[in-house]
Every structure is written in C-alpha cells, then in structure tokens.
Copies of this chain bind each other. A is one copy, B any other.
Amino acid sequence: MQNQSTSNNTDPVSITLTDRLFDTLQRAIVEGEIAPGSKISEPELARQHGVSRGSLREAIGRLEARKLVERKPNIGARVVTLSYEQLIEIFQIREALEGMAARLAAQNMSDQEIEELQVLLEEHGQQIEEQQGQAYFQKQGDLDFHYRIVQGSKNHHLIGLLCDDLYHLLRMYRYQFGMRSRRSRQAYDEHHYLLNAIVARDPEMAELLMRQHIRSSRRNVERMLLEN
C-alpha cells in the first residue's frame, strides 16, 4: 500500500539527486551510522557520496527542517544529540497529535479501512501467540497500526507532521536507546480497545484511548531508561 517510493510520478527516474542524498543521509543518521552529536563535514561527505557541496547542502537543509541535524551559521551542522528530556517532549506531542488523529479516524475512516485494520490486528494477535518475544515484529506491528490510524484521520497536514517529521526522530531514539518493548501483550490489548471505539464511531473515546495508550508507552520507556 505504501510502497512505490513515496511518489506517484510518471517518470520514476525523475527523482533528484538531492532527494536520494536526503534519504540516504536520513537513514544513516536514524540508524546511528553517523553518530549523534558528530559534526557533519561538507567536503568530506560530498566526496564520500560523489556529489557537489551544493546538492549536499540542500539535503542538509532538509535534515535540519526535520530536526535531525542542527546548524549554526559559519560553524556547520551537527547530528542532534538525543536526550531524555527531548524524548519526553516528543511523547507529549505524539499524545496530542495522535490523539487527535484517532478522534478524526473514528469519524473519517471508511468501513473498508476499518475492516482491513481489524484483519491486521488479528495477525498481530496471532504473531504474539506463536512467537512471543519477537520484539521486532511487535514494534513493526505497533508502527503499522499507528500509521494506519494517522492515515485514517484524512488530515493531510497532520499526516505529514506525524509520518514525515516526528516518525523518523522517534525511530532514531529507538535505534539509539535500544527501546525494545516488553509489553506487547498489553499494547495489543490497548490497540483492540482503541479499534473498538473506532468501530463504534466514537471520536471522544478513540482520542481518550489513544492518549492513554501513548502515555503508558511513555511510562514503559521511562522505566526502561531508568534501569540503564
């Protein structure tokens, strides 16, 4: 469904060099290949990727807009450093935004979309039964579920904010802090309650349950980080 590389262009080759660079660098930063807090040297990176500094600078500009790097005039760009405080900030924003997304999804998702989401959730349930402990599939499942809710809001601006901007920052935290989730069963249940509210077309309840879900996810992360 969300394959086909982001664009419905007629000519698939028309993707610009800056675009590819941006994707590559974003992945490298999110996955920690370029360490958090490290300086980004324009001459070096340009040489490594075989592109001119001009194209590279445009890519860095986009990374800056997504808060993946910070730039200071005449000094240069650095990969952001992750902090506990900023992670909390992100969770607060997610709570507000995804809560609204759930509210809107309860109003705007088509019946078919809801059915497909029920099917997806059943698959997650089976995966949890069969292979308990497969953290990867659980995380991926969690992301899939949230992704569909956000799409279901039909609010394009909101979708962009969540899926383009916040999503990658969050992924970066998962990689860096090794945020494995040990509460897949509970998360699965919470997804179920939320979906029930959407089936019932109850926006108020959907928002409430989504916010509770994200709050409990945040508490889980807090506990995990305090363990070290």
| Interface residue ranges, A against B (CB under 8 Å) | 9, 14-16, 19, 54, 57-58, 61-62, 65, 67, 73-74, 86, 89-90, 92-93, 95-97, 99-100, 104, 155-158, 160-161
Query: How many whole Å from A149's CB to the nearest CB in chain B?
Result: 14
Contacts of A86 in B (CB 8 A): 156-157
Min CB gap A64→B, angstroms: 8
Establish whether residues B73 and A16, one from each chain, have CB atoms under 8 Å apart when the complex forms: yes
A161 to B89, CA, bound (A): 12
Contacts of A15 in B (CB 8 A): 73
Number of copies of chain A assembled together: 2
> In angstroms, how far is the closest chain B Cβ from the Cβ of A63?
10
A97 partner residues in chain B, CB cutoff 8 A: 93, 96-97
What separation, in Å, do the CA atoms of A65 and B92 have in the docked complex?
22
With a cutoff of 8 Å between Cβ atoms, the chain B residues found around residue A100 in the complex are 92-93, 95-96
Question: Which residues of B have CB within 8 Å of A58?
Answer: 57-58, 61
Q: Are B157 and A73 in contact (CB under 8 A)?
A: no
* A100 and chain B: residue at smallest CB distance: B96
Please give, as numbers and ranges, the residues of chain B lying within 8 Å of A19 by CB-CB distance: 73
Distance between A206 CB and nearest chain B CB, rounded to angstroms: 13
Chain A interface SS verdict (over half): helix
Given contacts A73-B16, A74-B14, contact A92 B155 (CB under 8 A): yes
24 contacts between A and B (CB under 8 A): A9-B73, A54-B54, A58-B58, A58-B61, A61-B62, A61-B65, A67-B157, A86-B157, A89-B155, A89-B156, A89-B157, A90-B157, A92-B100, A92-B158, A93-B97, A93-B100, A93-B155, A93-B157, A93-B158, A93-B161, A95-B100, A96-B97, A96-B99, A97-B97
Within 8 Å by CB of A89, from B54, B96, B158, lies: B158
A10 CB to closest chain B CB (Å) equals: 11
Q: Which residues of B contact A9 (CB under 8 A)?
A: 73
Closest to A159 in B: B89
Kindly report which residue of chain B lies nearest to residue A158, judged by CB atoms: B93
Complex: how many Å from CA A54 to CA B74?
A: 17
In the bound complex, CA of A158 to CA of B62 (Å): 19
Enumerate chain B residues within 8 angstroms of A155, measured Cβ to Cβ: 89, 92-93
